[in-house]
Structure 1
Amino acid sequence: MDKSTIPQTTRLTAEEATKHLDKLQKLDEEIIALLTHASKSLQSLNEPSTQSVDEAKRDYQAHANKLFAGLESVTVGLRREAKALQDADVLGSTVTTKAEWVGRQKEREGIAAAEAVLNKLNAQGAD
């Protein structure tokens, strides 16, 4: 086999590996913040409070918007890191493809669930 047919990969130096690990750590922190927004959005709907239905909707919507914006940011960051690791021959080629498919599916499920909650709130507000 001649060298031109051998796929070229980039090997990570210790410094580059550290940078990627730092990026993954920041993404982990973002995921924790996302879970907090998810919790607060559900809390605003489920816990009895002195808020009106409209205030609860606004509170829910604000946290849900932060959640979905953050999910998009984390998804992009994770894809970039997976691609960098794949290019460095650390991951196999199927990992990124599966991650993208699962991410899109989970995003659709999350949006459908959020829309169902908003529809329920709108129906309650109309009563």
Structure 2
Amino acid sequence: MLAVSGCPVGMDVEALRDVHVAELADVALTAVEREVVLGLEEPWRTRAFLRCWTRKEAVLKAVGVGLATSLSALETGADRPGPVEVTADIVPSGPVTWRVTDVPVPPGWVASLALPAGADEIIDVQKW
């Protein structure tokens, strides 16, 4: 996928696959997200985990830090459909709030797109 915008933008796409959610939950999810995600049965548990993951990665890519920061520092609203607001307080300039949208993708995939919360940009998302 490719997202083009006149403002900072981040996107992440993940294939639905076997993920050891219980093992990754402590390092990748906030306490609220862990409660929501681990309370689900499969296959919903893995889908919810990957939705949190793609939302976090989209924000981290938009901020420009990638996985160099703690994923458990970002609350992504695991129990809510997008768009959601995610505040990233991970850069010296202070917190920035992002609007994260779940991108419709073919079955077997999960994708998220992050833009600054106040952006009125029209985003062209291309899927291959």
Q: TM-score, normalized by length of structure 2?
A: 0.26
| Structure having the larger proportion of residues in helix | 1
Name the structure, 1 or 2, with higher relative contact order (CA <8 Å, separation 6+).
Answer: 2
Q: TM-score, normalized by length of structure 1?
A: 0.26
